[in-house]
């Protein structure tokens, strides 16, 4: 029986790239996004055609625990859980609304709890599993005008390290990938000039690609069992 990976935020960006990377390794996939159902179906069709894997899709707002429970229940056996879905909010803290704060924290951090607590019992029974949490360099260093996002990703890092210790005796590995500036739709709020200025600050001289991020997730899915509780940073030497 082939292993199955569940990926949240899989219709675009890093989640989509992770789906392609894992499909190359023969994983069946359960792909989740909040509202881009048509884009998700296109990913499903291409992966099935190109790699011969079985792929299911579901619309799910990962900030809603009831929707997550229904979705994880539909997925069945999950060998790799990729918690990728995230949102940002660029704003002064004093200008941020309660709704904006809760939306970022619920989507980026609370969703890890909702999904992991449902996937972990079956992994414990099998004595095998991987949980990969997508983080950010802002979770390591913090960013002005992105307090909520930085706080959520800092929480992702601590969640990852703590859960790894809890699950290591059951041969389940929990790791995170903290990415720098990746060329995805999440950066659409910045102008071309702002992105060029940002790239100049990065020693590699460019933004990372979603495909490169997907390869890191693929690598973590196949990493040795002794690697757990780590936050792997890929940022072009920036931080």
Q: Which of 112, 64, 61 has the alpha carbon at shortest distance from 84?
A: 112
Q: Which two tokens stand for residue 228?
A: 């757990």
The separation between the first and the last C-alpha atoms of the chain, rounded to the nearest angstrom, is 41
Active site residue 20: no
- Active-site choice (27, 51, 149, 226): 149
CA 208 – CA 64 distance, rounded (Å) = 30
Q: Long-range contacts of range 164-167, CB-CB < 8 Å, 24 or more positions apart?
A: 164/228, 164/229, 164/230, 165/229, 167/120, 167/123, 167/124, 167/129, 167/131, 167/228
Catalytic residues: 149
């Amino acid at each position: 029986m082939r292993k199955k990976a569940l990926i949240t935020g899989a219709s675009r960006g890093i989640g989509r790239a992770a789906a392609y990377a894992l499909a190359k390794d023969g994983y069946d996939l359960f792909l989740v996004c909040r509202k881009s159902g048509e884009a998700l179906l296109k990913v499903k069709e291409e992966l099935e055609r190109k790699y011969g894997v079985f792929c299911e899709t579901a619309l799910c707002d990962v900030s809603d625990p009831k929707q997550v429970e229904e979705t994880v229940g539909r997925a069945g056996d999950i060998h790799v859980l990729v918690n990728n879905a995230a949102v940002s909010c660029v704003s002064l803290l004093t200008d941020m609304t309660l709704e904006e704060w809760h939306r970022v924290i619920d989507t980026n951090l609370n969703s890890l709890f909702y999904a992991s607590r449902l996937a972990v019992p079956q992994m414990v029974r099998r004595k095998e599993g991987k949980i990969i949490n997508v983080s950010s360099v802002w979770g390591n260093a913090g960013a002005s005008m992105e307090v909520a996002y930085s706080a959520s990703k800092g929480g992702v890092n601590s969640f990852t390290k703590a859960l790894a210790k809890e699950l290591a005796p059951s041969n389940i590995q929990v790791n995170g990938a903290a990415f720098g500036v990746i060329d995805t739709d999440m950066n659409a709020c910045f102008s071309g000039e702002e992105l060029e200025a940002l790239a100049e600050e990065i020693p590699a001289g460019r933004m990372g690609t979603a495909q490169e991020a997907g390869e890191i997730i693929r690598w973590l899915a196949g990493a040795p069992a002794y690697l757990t509780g780590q936050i792997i940073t890929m940022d072009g030497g920036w931080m």
